[in-house]
């Protein structure tokens, strides 16, 4: 049996207003990025009196792509600066998707800029492309550094391709991305010393400095200063590591002033365990229970070297945490009834939401085998306390399997189309669930998921 709890009309009005603001912010961010790009094009336009002949057209296109590439570098870094306002409203996964899409465009613009400028200059000086390339790199100020930055950008783009990503660990890919900081630094100087739009334009130079120094300040504060400050402030330590299922453990932590983190059910933090082999990387893991002023808990499945090593953590190990991050929280809710759809270790944020979300909540928890259903005793206790419905679905033995289709989901959850649905699981399961839910009549705006693929 389930029970539904609805708020007052005043509460509903306030909630609708917050949702409207939250929905408008991503559009405002996109509009701001677009306005900046328009400003960059206006800079080229104001400094260009005429474009004459093939060399002029090629060089002009090279200038435009170079300006847009430089601006895009600043935008890419700002999107991943982990600014709380953006992270909690736009969402970490959406920012990551924008970053990935923008990265592909940026590398394309950099390649186009390089080829167009070389070709245009070669035509203007009546020389071949190879000689012109050598002349540019060796004779123009800061272009040798810019060339190194160009090569770093191209290498990062290749390593970020999906086929390459599958062959390396998250930690390796994450640290290779730090090369982009060096690439931006190396390329920045050549743009100001060689760019026709900057050389004699002091206002443009100051605006460019302000843009990049502002982004650098965001990165320095939110990605470095804040984690260090919080590590010293909260003094977190591991208190216990508890097995939950084959290859799955819960890491219990304690600390000081943890309520100041403001962590909400459904959110994650990036955890840096100060133990041999682990201190050099911070990996994202969701809270698997509501935050307590003195206690936090994450539940992790062994899926690589870092996650597997957590099972061997010793009590007392110091921990630094960055966050909380993500908008996979109760604030996304728009309907009185909610379905939580978990796959494997994707149960971790949904277990915290299952305990705290008001109203009528149904949980579907899918796993390969019954033994893989982590936190089952806790889930059953929560379900009994709040009179909620839980469906456990396992693939083995085969007779118990239930396909992830619109028909099976609708049979398990009456009135499915009127629910908000939170989905968390492996990417393939999330894609299948999203398709099945849309086929069952659930509007896209009511399907909420967040990916750690960044």
Place of tokens 């390649």: 111
| Residues 258/292, Cβ–Cβ less than 8 Å | yes
Tokens of 319: 């921990």
Q: Which residues are 394's β-sheet partners?
A: 367
Q: How far is CA 92 from CA 268, 269, 274, in A?
A: 10, 11, 25
CATH topology of domain 237-325: Elongation Factor Tu (Ef-tu); domain 3 (2.40.30)
Place of tokens 């336009």: 45
pLDDT digits (tens), the chain, 454 positions: 333 322 222 333 444 444 545 567 788 888 999 999 999 999 888 888 778 789 989 999 999 999 999 999 999 999 888 888 888 778 777 888 888 888 889 999 999 999 999 999 899 888 898 988 888 888 887 788 888 888 888 888 787 776 666 676 666 766 777 778 888 888 888 888 777 778 778 888 899 999 999 999 999 999 889 888 888 899 999 999 999 999 999 999 999 999 999 899 999 999 999 998 888 888 889 999 999 999 999 999 987 777 788 989 999 999 999 889 888 889 889 899 999 999 989 999 999 999 999 989 999 999 988 889 999 999 999 999 999 999 999 887 765 567 889 999 999 999 999 999 999 998 889 999 999 999 999 999 899 987 654 4
Q: What pairing do the DSSP bridges indicate for beta strands 318-325 and 337-343?
A: unpaired
CATH of domain 330-449: 3.40.50.80
Tokens of 389: 């419905």
Three-state secondary structure of the chain: CCCCCCCCHHHHHHHHHHHHHHHHHHHHHHHHHHHHHHHHHHHHHHCCCCCCHHHHHHHHHHHHHHHHHHHHHHHHHHHCCCCHHHHHHCCHHHHHHHHHHHHHHHHHHHHHHHHHHHHHHHHHHCCCHHHHHHHHHHHCCCHHHHHHHHHHHHHHHHHCCHHHHCCCCHHHHHHHCCHHHHHHHHHHHHHHHHCCCCCCCHHHHHHHHHHHHHHHHHHHHHHHHHHHHHHHHHCEEEEEEEEEECCEEEEEEECCCHHHHCCCCCCEEEEEECCCCCCCCCEEEEECCCCECCEEEEEEECCCHHHHHHHHCCCCCEEEEEEEECCCCHHHCCCCEEEEEEEHHHHHHHHHHHHHCCCEEEEEEEECCHHHCCCHHHHHHHHHHHCCEEEEEECCCHHHCCCCCHHHHHHHCCCHHHCEEEEECCHHHHHHHHHHHHHCCCCHHHEEECCCCC
Instruction: Please tell me the distance from the alpha carbon of residue 63 to that of residue 406, in angstroms, as a whole number.
Output: 52
Provide CATH 3.40.50.80 ranges for the chain: 330-449
Instruction: Please tell me the distance from the alpha carbon of residue 241 to that of residue 396, in angstroms, as a whole number.
Output: 28
Residue of 364, 376, 352, 226 lying closest to 298 (CA atoms): 352
* Residues 6+ away with beta carbon under 8 Å from 373: 245, 365, 367, 392, 394
Q: Tell me how long the chain is.
A: 454
Instruction: Please tell me the distance from the alpha carbon of residue 355 to that of residue 289, in angstroms, as a whole number.
Output: 8
Instruction: Please tell me the distance from the alpha carbon of residue 347 to that of residue 57, in angstroms, as a whole number.
Output: 56
* Residues 6+ away with beta carbon under 8 Å from 12: none
Q: What is the largest CA-CA distance in the chain?
A: 83
């Amino acid at each position: 049996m389930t029970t539904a709890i609805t708020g007052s009309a005043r509460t509903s009005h306030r909630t609708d207003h917050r949702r409207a603001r939250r929905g408008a912010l991503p559009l405002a961010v996109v509009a701001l990025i677009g306005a900046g790009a328009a400003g960059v094009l206006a800079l080229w336009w104001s400094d260009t009196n005429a474009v004459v002949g093939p060399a002029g057209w090629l060089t002009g296109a090279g200038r435009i792509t170079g300006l847009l590439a430089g601006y895009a570098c600043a935008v890419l870094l700002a999107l991943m600066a982990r600014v709380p306002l953006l992270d909690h409203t736009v969402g970490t996964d959406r920012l990551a998707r924008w970053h990935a899409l923008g990265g592909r465009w940026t590398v394309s613009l950099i390649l186009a800029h390089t080829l167009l400028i070389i070709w245009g200059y070669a035509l203007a000086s009546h020389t071949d492309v190879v000689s012109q390339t050598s002349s540019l790199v060796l004779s123009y100020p800061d272009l040798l550094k810019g060339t190194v930055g160009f090569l770093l950008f191209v290498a990062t783009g290749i390593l970020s391709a999906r086929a390459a990503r599958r062959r390396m660990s998250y930690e390796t890919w994450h640290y290779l991305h730090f090369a982009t900081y060096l690439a931006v630094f190396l390329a920045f100087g050549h743009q100001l010393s060689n760019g026709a739009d900057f050389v004699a334009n002091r206002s443009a130079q100051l605006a460019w400095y302000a843009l990049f120094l502002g982004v650098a300040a965001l990165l320095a504060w939110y990605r470095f200063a804040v984690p260090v400050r919080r590590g010293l402030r909260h003094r977190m330590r591991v208190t216990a590591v508890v097995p939950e299922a084959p290859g799955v453990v819960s890491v219990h932590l304690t600390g000081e002033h943890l309520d100041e983190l403001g962590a909400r059910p459904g959110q994650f933090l990036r955890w840096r365990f100060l133990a041999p082999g682990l201190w050099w990387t911070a990996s994202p893991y969701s809270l698997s229970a509501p935050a307590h002023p003195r206690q936090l808990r994450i539940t992790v499945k062994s899926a690589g070297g870092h996650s597997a090593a957590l099972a061997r953590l010793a009590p007392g190990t110091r921990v630094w945490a960055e966050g909380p991050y993500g908008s996979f929280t109760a604030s996304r809710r728009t309907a009185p009834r909610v379905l939580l759809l978990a796959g494997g270790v994707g149960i971790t944020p949904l277990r915290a939401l299952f305990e705290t979300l008001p109203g009528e909540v149904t949980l579907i928890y899918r796993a390969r085998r019954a033994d893989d259903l982590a936190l089952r005793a806790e889930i059953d206790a929560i379900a009994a306390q709040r009179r909620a419905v839980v469906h456990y679905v396992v693939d083995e033995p085969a007779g118990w399997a239930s396909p992830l289709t619109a028909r099976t989901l609708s049979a398990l959850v009456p009135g499915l189309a009127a629910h908000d649905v939170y989905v968390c699981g492996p990417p393939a399961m999330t894609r299948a669930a999203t398709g099945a839910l849309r086929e069952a009549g659930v509007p896209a705006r009511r399907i909420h998921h967040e990916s750690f693929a960044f």
